[in-house]
Amino acid sequence: LPLQLLHCLLEDGVQINTYHTPSNCSRKVEVSDYIRYHYNGTLLDGTLFDSSHTRMRTYDTYVGIGWLIAGMDQGLLGMCVGERRIITMPPSLGYGENGDGSDIPGQASLVFDVVLLDLHNTKDGITVTNQIIPESCTRKSVAGDFVRYHYNGSLLDGTFFDSSYSRNRTYDTYVGRGYVIAGMDEGLIGVCVGERRTVTIPPHLGYGEEGTGSKIPGSAVLVFDVHIIDFHNPSDTTEVIVTHKTEECVKQTKKGDFVKYHYNASLMDGSSIDSTYNYGKTYNIVLGANQVVPGMEEGLMDMCVGEKRHLVIPPHLGYGERGVTNEVPGSAVLVFDIELVDMEEGLPEGYMFIWNDDVATDLFTEMDKDKNEEVEPSEFTDYIMQQVNEGKGRLAPGFDPYRIIDNMFSNQDRDGDGKITEAEFRLKADEVSHDEL
């Protein structure tokens, strides 16, 4: 059309030509929304007078409340994120008779080629969408819980800015305590282990007007696709669920017992850590000797041979914040399925050796084989091992017997000269009710 005729048509108002509409449009620009958009501004003859693209930053503004020229205030309403449209306006809705004093002459009709990048309203809260909740969800996160999760972070137009997957490690944080941006603090409350959700966060609950200075621009709406790996609370104890109970149980495990058990170990997301079945042998420990993590120690107490249990161990009773390099991530909740295969009753607390029979009346003389009135280490070791082999005495199970005997000898060798005299030698029975060297 001739320019004069087009000028006449435009006097009726803003002309809008949408040339790209996104397939998904859940929200459109309304009055008082705050938007971020790019534009090229030209005159009717195609002369460029301004462009946000050349400044490499969006134009950010409220819409419909007079912050823009009237034609743009009208022309941006109803747009979807990702939509592209050409907004053409008469001078009366642009810069009028006088123009802008520089690049836009008076009585100029204006053409803006616009793409909308995001929008929000200051009244917006977070939105949670695309939830995939596991069938089994016995617990949901609350304020004060420590959550391990993976995420992909993008802007509303799909521009990627960060991902925990790219670092090959979860993001770990307390929730509801201000350790993360307010929108994420809220978006991680009420989640289940294994849940996936999309959390959309307006800038006033994200990085605000300033952004991060690099990948996240000011006033940007953020979209996080989140996968919850696990969570716990610092007040959690070991969860013990008996999955198989034996009909007869003569003795239950206690501190000091030597136990043999099988286990399958995994993380909360099902990732396998280890299994004794892979090695074809049990894992053997002495309860109360700090040979396993505290949560496992607790889970093995009061157990019967043949019994099976399911244990959920929080990190402060497991491998803590550091985890185990290349095996267990830091702050990870552990899951063990265990079966007690065998147990050997331990000795009373504080004992390394006890007598099964009556103690010889002249024990020192029996030990002193060469009758030099001194007991050498070899004499002591030979004598104790003889008692054990003949069933007259018992060493604490689960430890190297020779290390125990060396320790016993050191306790008797009170002056540390490498031999025991009759004056040094005495039974623990002299002090307490059990007979032990």
Q: Is 28 exposed, middle or buried (0-12, 13-18, 19+ CB in 10 A)?
A: middle
Q: How confident is the model at residue 224 (pLDDT cuts 50, 70, 90)?
A: very high
In this predicted structure, the answer to whether residue 283 has a pLDDT above a threshold of 80 is yes
For 244-265, how does the pLDDT look when each residue is reduced to its tens digit (9 = 90+)?
999 889 899 999 999 999 999 9
DSSP string, 25-41: -S----TT-EEEEEEEE
Architecture of domain 3-120: Roll (3.10)
Instruction: Express as a percent the part of the chain with pLDDT over 70.
Output: 95
The answer, yes or no, to whether residue 34 has pLDDT greater than 80, is: yes
Residue 195, pLDDT > 80, answer yes
Average pLDDT score over residue span 95-111: 93
Phi-psi region of 265 (alpha: psi -120 to 50; beta: other; left: phi over 0): beta
pLDDT, mean of residues 42-61: 95
185 with 222: CB under 8 angstroms?
no
For position 213, what pLDDT does the model report? 80
Backbone angles phi, psi at 339, to 5 degrees: -135, 125
Among residues 153, 151, 124, 148, which one has the least CA distance to residue 214? Answer: 153
CA distance 38 to 12: 26
Do domains 127-232 and 353-430 share one topology? The answer is: no
**Each residue's pLDDT tens digit, 384-427:** 999 989 898 899 898 999 999 999 999 898 999 999 998 888 87
Structure confidence at residue 428 as a pLDDT band (50, 70, 90): low
The CATH class for the domain spanning 239-344 reads alpha beta
Token duo for residue 312: 């959920």
Question: What tens digit of pLDDT does each residue of 149-159 get?
Answer: 999 999 999 99
Question: Candidates 3.40.50.720, 1.10.238.10, 3.40.50.1370, 3.40.50.2300; correct CATH number of 353-430?
Answer: 1.10.238.10
Q: At 6, is the pLDDT very low, low, confident or very high (cuts 50, 70, 90)?
A: very low
**Tokens 């958009």 sit on residue:** 37
Distance CA 394, CA 325 (A): 39
Give residue-wise pLDDT tens across range 364-396.
888 889 999 899 999 999 989 999 898 988 998
Distance from C-alpha of 273 to C-alpha of 282, rounded to nearest angstrom: 16
Asked whether residue 231 carries a pLDDT value surpassing 90, the answer given is yes
The CATH class for the domain spanning 127-232 reads: alpha beta
- The string of DSSP codes covering 196-232 is EEEEEE-GGGTTTTTTTSSSS-TT--EEEEEEEEEEE
Sorted by where each begins, the domain ranges of the chain are 3-120, 127-232, 239-344, 353-430
Q: How many CA atoms lie within 13 A of 409 on its CB side?
A: 23
